[in-house]
Amino acid sequence: MSVFRRKPRAIAPVAETKLQWSDDAEQILENGRNRLVVVGAVFALAFTLVGARLIDLAVLQGHDANQTALNDEQRPSAERADILDRNGVVLATNLITASLFAEPRRVLDAADAARKIVLALPELNEQEVEKKLSGGRAFIWLKRHLTPKQQHDVNALGVPGVGFRDDRKRVYPHGNLVAHVLGYTGIDNEGQAGIELQYDEQLSTVTQKASAATNGDPLRLSVDVRVQFALQQELSRAVEEFSALGAAGIVLDAVTGEVLAMVSLPDFDPNQARTASSNAMFNRASLGVYEMGSTFKAFTTAMALDAGTVKIGGGYDATKPLRVARFTIRDDHPKKRWLSVPEIFIYSSNIGAAKMAVDVGAERQKEFLGRLGLLQRAALELPEVGRPISPSRWGEISTMTVAFGHGIAVSPVQLTSAMAAMVNGGIRIDPTLMAKQPMDTPQGTRVIKTRTSSIMKRLMRLNVEEGTGSKAKAAGYLVGGKTGTAEKAVAGSYQRKALLSSFIGAFPMNDPRYVVLAVIDEPKGTKKSFGYAGGGWTAAPVFGRVVSRIGPLMGVAPVDEESKSVRNAMFIRVKAGG
């Protein structure tokens, strides 16, 4: 049997087919790779362009915008040191706010943007905003110091090309209370008036690099806000009661020269200084100069006693008016008799004061008032300090009128400082608004003898007990002082109904520490004052109420005014041989 075997079938070459497939895949992969490279390159270019633009916006042009702002003085407000009262109460500080700026080059539609912004900030003018946004500048402020709500409202608009920057706004927590002392700053936190201007460099902490005195520490004033409030409130009450034009007042430490309170009415809110009137911003206490009337009789009396031209037991004939050339000097409430020195003081005799001054002489009078600081500006740390007005030719008539406070004009702060020397033992100390340290020794100049000062304290006390200052009494406190009523010069002549009424005094008179001045500008008599508008009726009561309020605050213990020891300490003979 034969066996048949089948011839093997030829198989197609697999390798050839495989090679053909491999070439196609390679081509596909190559094409895909090329496409990916192109796409990647496009994306890389796009990201490069976007990145370059971001760098341009954030760094280069942003720097240009900032530089433009600096050149245009549109930088955010600088940090500024706080101002405190003597007890550490904050009087002025900074509040961080947001300020709205625009970059006009990046604003897409100026008209539309202006319309939206003004909807959120209606106090802005739409045409002005559009004009700013249409300009070619890189940076411009639209509104400084926005409130949180204003910032929220503008931010919600989503307007391209506008943004916010942190800013600092000067704020005064007590509003009007210490306005004329503090002054105020401008929109860039630069001092414009008051202490803010006087100490602008020290308060501006951005410039504080060189000295330890300018290291951002708060500036502490001598003012006590409690005393300031009492004085302001009582003066405001008097202005309203007597329908006056305004008022001024000062409380001064007679030993250290520190000003504890300084008030000028009308006043203003330094937080809204741009809306204040020029009358409200005028500091009557330091910048205004006035003829202070009979308060000057205290200086005339002290001058004559110190010079020895008259003794406390002496006096002058005040029977008739005094005629000099075309002038006639008369007393408002004439006694028409010889008056002792104490009587001249407590009855406020113009005739007696004039004769007293003539005996001293013009030269010595001028020299004495100069030593009291009444012939030159007060050395006070404020830019608003008035220059006194004194006679150009100091002859006999000037000597007489100056003796009772006419023909010479001084500021209230000058008067207060000079009166302190009358009661503190005879030492004149320059007034200051800067708080002194307890260890500081006041530097002063002797202007009258200690004995003369002792006599003046007794005379001032006597004036409250028996004279024109009776309404200045403050229950429980030993006070003394002198009234002043001066006719104001209007259009070159004195007006009998336009008065500047004042009272200046001290307490406690057995050991004077504080001097208080109240000045009322053109008060009108009332039914309660029987139509009178002089210092005894209008300003003296202010003094009494202020002393009653601040005495306990300052730690002054009440005394029994009728006690034998007090009466002996304050005793002075009114008529010695008169």
pLDDT tens digits, 301-332:
999 999 999 999 999 999 999 988 788 899 98
pLDDT tens digits, 184-211:
998 888 899 999 999 999 998 654 443 3
447 & 421 share domain: yes
| DSSP-derived pairing of the beta strands 514-521 and 315-317 | unpaired
| Residue 357 included in any domain | yes
Res 208: pLDDT: 42
The CATH number for 204's domain is: 3.90.1310.10
Query: What is d(CA 525, CA 388) in angstroms, rounded to the nearest whole number?
Result: 29
Taking the alpha carbons at both ends of the chain, their separation in whole angstroms is: 189
8 A C-beta contact, residue 224 and residue 433 = no
pLDDT tens digits, 234-293:
999 999 999 999 999 999 999 999 999 999 999 999 999 989 999 999 999 999 999 999
Res 452: pLDDT: 96
| Residue 45 included in any domain | no
Instruction: Give the single-character DSSP code of 383.
Output: S
pLDDT surpassing 80 at residue 15: no
463 CB-near residues (< 8 Å, 6+ apart) = 345, 346, 469, 480, 481, 482, 483
pLDDT surpassing 80 at residue 574: no
| Residue 73 included in any domain | no
49 CB-near residues (< 8 Å, 6+ apart) = none
What is the number of H-type helices and E-type strands within the chain?
20, 18
159 & 202 share domain: yes
273 & 249 share domain: yes
Bridge partners of residue 556, in order along the sequence: none
492 CB-near residues (< 8 Å, 6+ apart) = none
559: left (phi over 0), alpha (psi -120 to 50) or beta: beta
The residue assigned the tokens 């024109």 is 468
pLDDT surpassing 60 at residue 120: yes
Crossing angle for the helix pair 297-307 and 362-371, to the nearest 10 degrees:
110
DSSP string computed for 47-93? HHHHHHHHHIIIIIHHHHHHHHHHHTT-PPPPPB--EE-TTS-EEEE
Q: Which domain holds residue 240?
A: 227-570
pLDDT tens digits, 149-186:
888 888 888 888 888 877 778 999 999 999 999 999 98
346 & 236 share domain: yes
| Residue 6 included in any domain | no
Least confident of 416-425, 459-468, 555-564: 555-564
The CATH number for 249's domain is: 3.40.710.10
8 A C-beta contact, residue 114 and residue 133 = yes
8 A C-beta contact, residue 235 and residue 221 = no
Query: What is d(CA 210, CA 214) in angstroms, rounded to the nearest whole number?
Result: 8
Query: What is d(CA 511, CA 293) in angstroms, rounded to the nearest whole number?
Result: 26
| Residue 51 included in any domain | no
| DSSP-derived pairing of the beta strands 83-84 and 219-220 | parallel
344 & 265 share domain: yes
Mean pLDDT of all residues in the chain?
A: 85
Q: Provide the annotated active-site residues.
A: 294
**Structure-block tokens of residue 385:** 């300090």
Query: What is d(CA 227, CA 252) in angstroms, rounded to the nearest whole number?
Result: 10
The amino acid sitting at 504 is I
279 & 391 share domain: yes
Decide which of 173, 188, 220 is a domain's last residue.
Answer: 220
pLDDT tens digits, 466-478:
999 999 999 889 9
Query: What is d(CA 413, CA 292) in angstroms, rounded to the nearest whole number?
Result: 12
| Residue 249 included in any domain | yes
Query: What is d(CA 483, CA 461) in angstroms, rounded to the nearest whole number?
Result: 12
183 & 259 share domain: no
Query: What is d(CA 22, CA 34) in angstroms, rounded to the nearest whole number?
Result: 18
168 & 310 share domain: no
Decide which of 172, 202, 220 is a domain's last residue.
Answer: 220
State which H helix or E strand residue 33 sits in: helix 14-55
214 & 323 share domain: no
Query: What is d(CA 447, CA 413) in angstroms, rounded to the nearest whole number?
Result: 18
The residue assigned the tokens 């309020």 is 549
Residue 469 has φ and ψ, to the nearest 5°, of -100, 25
The total number of structural domains that make up the chain = 2
